[in-house]
Amino acid sequence: MMKKVIDTLFFLILLLGSVHAAPTHLVDEKPVLISEVEDSVYLIDFGRVAFGNVRVVSPAAVNLTIHFGEDLKNGRVNRKPLGTVRYKAAEVHLKANEVRVVAPSKDGRNTSRGKPPTPPAVLTPKEWGVVLPFRWVEIEGWEGELKPAQIVRQSAFSATWDNDAAAFDCSDEMLNRVWELCRYSIKATTFAGVYVDGDRERIPYEADAYLNQLSHYYTDNDIQMARDTLAHLFKNPTWPTEWAPHMVFMVHADWMQTGETEWVRRYYEILKSKTLAERRAGDGLIASASQDIKRTDIVDWPIGERDAYVFTSRNTVVNAFYLQSIRRMEELARALGKDDEAEVFKAEFDESYAAFQQTFFDTETGLFMDGVGTKHSSQHANLFSLAFGLAPDEVRESMAAWLVGRGMRCSVYAAQYLLEGLFESGASEEALSLMVAEGDRSWRHMVERGATITWEAWDHKYKPNQDWNHAWGAAPANLLPRYVLGVQALSPGWVTAHVRPSVSGLKFAKGKVPTPHGPIVVDWANSDNFKMELTLPKGVLAKVELPAFEESDRVYCDGRLVQAKRIGSRWVIDELAEGTMRFVVTK
């Protein structure tokens, strides 16, 4: 019966509108460096990896071998890169003054129709020819000097991408490099018109898509690509347990970004099937059968990133996702005026939350255990609980400190939630330290290794088949503006914003956050006093909270003393901000 209902809902979705991709286009990009590495062999550096191909013109007839790659080895395009880091070659005969688009043959895996349970790959326009991710091109057989005008990269990006939509700069140069790496990663992976998991498969996955959506909202003005990805995923869902609730998160994020309820209403009924409620047992918890334990309860990916998680019939991480999804469903129900259904979601949340605490929380350690029948407390059982606001208030700080002490024991995917939990629990400086920590489990490692698009994993040794063009690794693109600049939507559609900057050991930070009304601009400095200039677009009011240092005693706005309450480590200003205002917290 449930399958029949879901099939009917899918049919209705298809009637409401066909699944399509947001507009993309090819952009000509010139080389940043051309060097002759051998006689008649040239290495061309385009500066960053992008999905595309090259357009070449030669003054004389010539036979060429053109190598495309994401990696260099000993100053040449790496012909045998690790994992699924890309290398391809193409041979071409050019006539004199003939302009040719050159690309290698297509990869069957990322251009196939897919075999169940794998959905079909997302295809790029046929007229483009083959596109692949590469930064370097090596050309063998070129006669004479290769000039910049003779080769360009045709790079695929969103047709509406605005390079000036967002900005971030702070006193830590490594954080600035991390921000730019992650910002560009979002841009470069818009090539398919929907959010895909990189070049290996070129298919959307729900968790990847949600993380991509969060960062896209903080780096560009586009909302359509997230919506098109949603439509694609409703038609082509994937298999992991926790991926399904991410669909609820995506619809909720769209509502918060736009304030529009059309998409909420369109998908509301089928979203109910994405909460995992069909697995809710009599004890109020989501039950895991043997197949779930063996395969679909994912916790983290790849398998080695699970911090020795113990899988049982009641999985803490799975239940945390269920609780977060029905809490979001309650909000969406109220947005649609379905108050009776909202009350049902609330009652289910309250009952399951009580069972969650009683079953999984260890009062002796102040930590969540992985599941029933085990005393093991993994980082994941606690990071998701902390990020979703499920940890008791009295242990949030100690739990955050425990997580920090464990280091980065999760993947680049779960790092989004780990860092969210730390920022939300007052451990902002520690969260930034993890972002740029020494070693191979941070974004510093990607930057220092020369990455220009974020990787699927922290390093090849953690996922030997990883690719180097995976936007689920771009979490700082949303985390830095959300928490260091402190800018988040407080009400749907950014009618009100929350501006709550975190000093996090920095001397200054400034930047621009896109909203549907125009950008929010923040510029703060922390020296003798904390000073912040805030500019809000017309139609947006902001609740402002500023750092309350131990010795601070008052807050000024535009030179006048303002009413503010000191709550914990924050000054919460009574009046809402509007337009451009300058704040000073005296020490």
User: At residue 231, what are phi and psi to the nearest 5 degrees?
Assistant: -60, -40
Nearest residue to 77 via CA among 32, 134, 133? 134
Same domain, 184 and 52: no
Element (H, E) at 175: helix 173-188
Asked if 114 and 243 sit in the same domain, the reply is: no
pLDDT tier for residue 583 given thresholds of 50, 70 and 90? very high
**pLDDT range class, residue 8, cuts 50, 70, 90:** very low
- Residue 4's pLDDT is 41
225 and 373 co-located in one domain: yes
pLDDT for residue 10 is more than 60: no
State the CATH number of the domain containing residue 138: 2.60.120.260
pLDDT at 95 exceeding the cut of 60: yes
Residue 278 domain-assigned (yes or no): yes
Q: Report pLDDT digits (tens) over 263-288.
A: 999 999 999 999 999 999 999 999 99
Domain end (from 97, 127, 158): 158
State whether the Cα torsion 399-400-405-408 is positive or negative.
Answer: positive
**Secondary structure (DSSP) of 333-395:** HHHTT-HHHHHHHHHHHHHHHHHHHHHHEETTTTEE-SBTT-----HHHHHHHHHTT-S-GGG
**What's the Cα-to-Cα distance from 481 to each of 46, 250, 400, rounded to whole Å?**
28, 19, 21
Two structure tokens written together for 115:
């075999």
20 pLDDT band, cuts 50/70/90, is: low
Q: Is residue 516 part of a domain?
A: yes
Residue indicated by tokens 């890309």:
86
Tokens of 66: 């053109």
Q: For 179-212, give the secondary structure using H, E and C.
A: HHHHHHHHHHCCCCCCCCCCCCCCCCCHHHHHHH
β-strands 541-547, 530-535 pairing: unpaired
Residue type, 109: R
Q: What is the pLDDT of residue 14?
A: 40
Q: Nearest-CA neighbor of 214 among 520, 443, 478, 476?
A: 478
Q: What are phi and psi of 307, to 5 degrees?
A: 55, 45
pLDDT of 35: 97
Answer yes or no: do 145 and 192 share one domain.
no
Residue 10 lies in a domain: no
| Residue 117 predicted with pLDDT over 90 | no
If asked whether residues 364 and 327 sit together in one domain, one would say yes
| Confidence band for 293, pLDDT divided at 50, 70 and 90 | very high
Are 291 and 427 within one domain? Answer: yes
Lowest mean pLDDT segment, chosen from 23-27, 29-33, 109-113: 109-113
Give the CA distances from residue 302 to residues 294, 299, 394, 411, 412, in Å, rounded to whole numbers and listed in that order.
14, 9, 33, 7, 10
Residue 9 confidence (pLDDT): 45
What is the C-alpha separation between 345 and 331, in angstroms, rounded? 9
* Same domain flag for 118 and 195: no
The answer as to whether 385 is a domain residue is: yes
- Average pLDDT of span 341-363: 98
Is 2 in a helix, a strand, or coil? helix
Domain carrying residue 254:
167-484
Evaluate the CA torsion angle 222, 254, 192, 414 in order and state its sign.
positive
Shared domain check, 198 and 124? no
Helix (H/G/I), strand (E/B), else coil: 298: coil
The span from the CA of 429 to the CA of 401, in Å, is 12
Identify whether 221 is part of a domain.
yes
Residues 326, 219 share a domain: yes
Contact, 408 vs 444, CB < 8 A? no
What's the total number of domains in the chain? Answer: 3
Relative to beta strand 33-38, strand 132-140 is unpaired
Domain final residue pick, 116, 134, 158 = 158
pTM reported for the whole predicted model: 0.95
Amino acid identity at 84 = T
Instruction: Indicate whether 392 and 522 sit together in one domain.
Output: no
Can you give the CATH number for the domain in which 391 is found?
1.50.10.10
Average pLDDT, the chain: 95
345 and 314 inside one domain: yes
How far is residue 437's CA from residue 432's CA, in Å, rounded to a whole number?
8
Cis geometry, peptide bond prior to residue 31 (ω within 30 degrees of 0): no
The answer on pLDDT for 370 being more than 50 is yes
> Across residues 44-65, what is the average pLDDT?
97
**Straight-line distance from the first to the last Cα atom of the chain, in angstroms, rounded to the nearest whole number:** 65
d(CA 114, CA 552): 61
> Tens digits of per-residue pLDDT, 148-206?
999 999 999 999 999 999 999 999 999 999 999 999 999 999 999 999 999 999 999 99
